[in-house]
Amino acid sequence: MTNKNRKLLIVEDDLGLQSQLKWSFEGFEVTTASNAKEAIDELRRFEPQVVTLDLGLPPDPGGTTEGFAILAEITRLAPQTKVIVVTGHNDRNNALNAIAAGAYDFFEKPIDADLLQHVVSRATRLSQLETENHLLNEQRKAPLSGVIASSAEMLKVCRSVERLANIDVSTLILGESGTGKEVIVKALHKLSHRSKKRLIAINCAAIPENLLESELFGYEKGAFTGATKSTKGKFEAANGGILFLDEIGDMPLSLQAKLLRFLQERVIERLGSHKEIAVDVRVLCATHQDLKKQISEGIFREDLYYRINEVTIQLPPLRDRDGDVLLLAKHFMESYVKQFERQVKGFSPSARSALLKYTWPGNIRELENKVKRAVIMAASSYITADDLELETVTNSDSTDYFNLREARETAEKKVITQALAITNGNMTRTAQLLGVTRPTLYAVMDKYQMREAT
């Protein structure tokens, strides 16, 4: 573990002892504080794993804050931080009271630097293990592989995918262009019992009608000019796995009939052959088009619609995914910073505001393109609103509420979700950003049942 991963805050008003302790902790990144204000400021800025706190610290110049009050504030702001209190000789009562108040351990003066270093190292290791355990728990609750999301809308989609992964039903994935339909398909495949077999995707809108049939069903030698050998199609290639038919709404009517027959009989015929070939493949379909409208217009078969639509997964547009814009933007930024070796560190407040206000008609694909360009073109360490080049749009959050309680609840949930996205789910920093205490934040989140989604 490097010293950047071992952070210690020493709270001590004796500058000589403070300096002695600071240089005693080799392998730690150490900062110091002499009074209550400095201690809390360093706690917020430095986020140490361990704090050594002199319980005999005198009140700060402006008030009565002393050791126990600082301990209480550290416990409130950063309950995961291990506090080791330093007491005077034979001051056992205060030491025990400090342990009861939330301190991890205590140490008596005069200080044995070697022994104190051992205690601090043990506390640091415990903090690291707790952090690792927390991360593992978060990963267990995290969305699907490849999915970046914290919004209730997308978490609901993820739970649906988990439930459907091992059930071989034809599934229709609906959503606007750029909402991540293929990402959901890949996640479903990875979770399914077919994960060791192939996932094959084909875009029905990208292949000319006269070639799509041979691509899907394969062909025999001599079936048409240029067919010099028998060739398997996508159905056979995906045998045992999953075939993903993207933009199914663009499939020609003639091929819709052949797809319907496969879904009913589970056999195919190659072009130029009458031999039936049994294929074990799960079919997933996706489209951004209104299939019911296409049925009424006679360009999509109603019987096929019900065959491919045994279960539907509806992906929400990005504008309806509260908090996910900033999560996705950060993910894309970090990816392109690494790819292009740029020195961009984050988004400016104006950029974050612009990201949240924009309605994203192109959804995630548009967001990725905007962030990619901004990373390349940014002139400073922080991406600005100008770098993103977002068109000025009317704020879409203009819903007319005639119920004040509903309006307040909607606003509270939205601002909490956005704050959690900005702080990467750090509850202490979220509470600070919102200007409330952690207990207040927890209470509001519990009120709206938001804790399960964080």
* Backbone torsions φ then ψ of 412, nearest 5 degrees: -65, -45
CATH code of residue 45: 3.40.50.2300
Instruction: Give the end of a domain, one of 140, 165, 181.
Output: 140
Within a domain: residue 398?
Answer: no
Within a domain: residue 399?
Answer: no
Q: Are residues 251 and 194 in the same domain?
A: yes
CATH code of residue 257: 3.40.50.300
Q: Are residues 188 and 305 in the same domain?
A: yes
**In the chain, how many domains are there?**
4
Within a domain: residue 147?
Answer: no
Q: Are residues 168 and 311 in the same domain?
A: yes
Closest of 270, 275, 202, 276 to residue 238, by C-alpha: 202
pLDDT digits (tens, 9 = 90+) for 400-442: 444 566 667 777 877 888 788 777 778 888 888 888 888 888 8
8 Å CB contact between 188 and 284: yes
Q: Are residues 177 and 222 in the same domain?
A: yes
| Predicted local distance difference test score (pLDDT) of residue 183 | 95
Closest of 56, 58, 27, 53 to residue 42, by C-alpha: 53
Give the angle subtended at the CA of 75 by the CAs of 69 and 80, to the nearest 5°.
155
pLDDT confidence band for 392 (50 / 70 / 90): low
Instruction: Give the end of a domain, one of 75, 106, 140.
Output: 140
Q: Are residues 215 and 97 in the same domain?
A: no
Q: Are residues 312 and 325 in the same domain?
A: no
- Domain enclosing residue 269, as ranges: 152-316
CATH code of residue 332: 1.10.8.60
Within a domain: residue 310?
Answer: yes
Q: Is the pLDDT of residue 5 over 80?
A: no
CATH code of residue 442: 1.10.10
Within a domain: residue 352?
Answer: yes
| Predicted local distance difference test score (pLDDT) of residue 453 | 47
Q: Are residues 355 and 300 in the same domain?
A: no
pLDDT confidence band for 395 (50 / 70 / 90): very low
pLDDT digits (tens, 9 = 90+) for 111-138: 888 888 888 998 988 888 877 776 555 5
Within a domain: residue 209?
Answer: yes
Report pTM.
0.60
Q: Are residues 177 and 295 in the same domain?
A: yes
Q: Are residues 359 and 436 in the same domain?
A: no
Q: Could you tell me what percent of the chain has a pLDDT over 90?
A: 49
Within a domain: residue 397?
Answer: no
Within a domain: residue 93?
Answer: yes
CB atoms within 10 A of CB 91: 18
Q: Are residues 181 and 159 in the same domain?
A: yes
Q: Are residues 254 and 217 in the same domain?
A: yes
| Predicted local distance difference test score (pLDDT) of residue 196 | 96
pLDDT digits (tens, 9 = 90+) for 13-54: 888 888 888 888 888 999 999 888 899 989 988 889 999 998
Q: Are residues 24 and 89 in the same domain?
A: yes
| Predicted local distance difference test score (pLDDT) of residue 370 | 96
Q: Residue 310 CA to chain centroid, in angstroms?
A: 29
Phi-psi label, residue 419: left if phi above 0, alpha if psi -120 to 50, beta otherwise: alpha
Instruction: Give the end of a domain, one of 103, 118, 140.
Output: 140
